[in-house]
Amino acid sequence: MSQVWAVHAGWLIPVSGPPQRHGFLVIAGDRIAGLGPSIPEPYRDACRVCLDLRDAIVLPGLVNAHTHLDLGGMATVRRNATVPPAFCDWLRQVVAYRRTSAQQDWRAAVRQGLEQSLRCGVTLLGDVTADGGSLEEIVRSPVQAVVFHEVLGLTKARAKQTWEQACAWLSRRDSWPNVRQGLSPHAPYSVRRGLFRLALHRCQQDNLRLMTHVAETPEEAELLDRHRGPLRDFLETLGAWDEAGLLRGTERLRQLLNRDRQVIWVHCNYLVQPPPGYVVWCPRTHAWFGHPRHRFAEWMNRGSVVALGTDSLASSPDLDLLAEARFVYKHYPEVQAPAVIRMATMSGAEVLGWADSVGTLEAGKLADWIAIRVPQAQWEKLEANPEDAVLRHPWPVTDVCVGGKLLIWEGRAVADNENRPESAARGDGWPTPDG
Ligand SMILES: [Zn+2]
Distance (angstroms) between ligand 1 centre and the Cα of 67 equals 6
Q: What angle do CA 148, 154, 155 make, to 5 degrees?
A: 125
- What separation in Å is there between the alpha carbon of 180 and the centre of ligand 1? 18
> 326 C-alpha to center of ligand 1: Å?
20
How close is the Cα of 226 to the center of ligand 1, in Å?
24
> Ligand 1 mean position to 398 CA, how many Å?
28
Residue pair 126/354 in contact (Cβ under 8 Å)? The answer is: no
Question: What's the 183 CA to ligand 1 centre distance in angstroms?
Answer: 13
Residue type at position 118: L
24 burial type by CB count under 10 A (0-12 exposed, 13-18 middle, 19+ buried): buried
How many whole angstroms from 367 Cα to the centroid of ligand 1? Answer: 29
What's the pLDDT score for residue 1? 60
Give residue 90 CA to ligand 1 midpoint distance, Å: 12
Q: Which amino acid is at 435?
A: G
Ligand 1 centroid – CA 310 distance (Å):
9
CA of 282 to the centre of ligand 1 (A): 9
User: What pLDDT sits at residue 54?
Assistant: 94
DSSP notation for 220-259: HHHHHHHS-SHHHHHHHHHT---GGGS-S-HHHHHHHHTT
**Ligand 1 centroid to 370 CA: how many Å?**
26
- What's the pLDDT score for residue 421? 78
Q: What pLDDT, on a 0 to 100 scale, did the predictor assign at position 435?
A: 40
Predicted pLDDT of residue 424: 62
d(CA 293, CA 328): 11
Q: What is the pTM of this model?
A: 0.96
User: How far is 130 from 7, CA to CA, in rounded Å?
Assistant: 40
Q: Identify which of 61, 67, 128, 109 has the alpha carbon closest to the alpha carbon of residue 309.
A: 67
Cα of 173 vs centre of ligand 1, distance in Å, is: 24
pLDDT on residue 77: 83
Non-local CB neighbours of 225 within 8 Å, separated by 6+ positions: 249, 250
What is the C-alpha separation between 418 and 355, in angstroms, rounded? 32
- Alpha-carbon span 64 to 110, nearest angstrom: 14
How close is the Cα of 366 to the center of ligand 1, in Å? 27
CA distance 188 to 239: 17
What distance in angstroms lies between residue 213's CA and the mean position of ligand 1's atoms? Answer: 6
Compute the distance from residue 52 Cα to the ligand 1 centre, in Å: 39
The predicted structure's pLDDT at residue 393? 95
* C-alpha–C-alpha distance, residues 123 and 365, integer Å: 13
- How far apart, in whole angstroms, are the C-alpha atoms of residue 173 and residue 155? 28
Output phi, psi for 114, to 5 deg: -65, -40
* C-alpha 109 – ligand 1 centre gap (Å): 16
- Give the residue ranges of the chain where pLDDT is below 70: 1, 424-435
Separation of alpha carbons 256 and 265, rounded Å? 13
Q: What is the pLDDT of residue 88?
A: 93
Residues 66-85 have pLDDT tens digits of: 999 999 999 988 888 878 88
CA of 144 from ligand 1 middle (Å) equals 19
Question: Cα of 403 to ligand 1 centre, how many Å?
Answer: 28
Distance 131 CA to ligand 1 centre (A): 15
Residue 411 CA to ligand 1 center (angstroms) comes to 29
Q: How many CA atoms lie within 13 A of 77 on its CB side?
A: 20
Ligand 1 centre to CA of 58 (Å) is 29
CA distances in angstroms from 293 to 119, 245, 271, 296, 304, listed in the order given: 30, 32, 11, 9, 17
- Compute the distance from residue 132 Cα to the ligand 1 centre, in Å: 14
Q: Which ranges constitute the DSSP H helices of 295-364?
A: 296-301, 321-331, 337-344, 346-352
Q: How far is the CA of 267 from the centre of ligand 1 (A)?
A: 8
Rounded distance from Cα 6 to ligand 1 centre (Å): 38
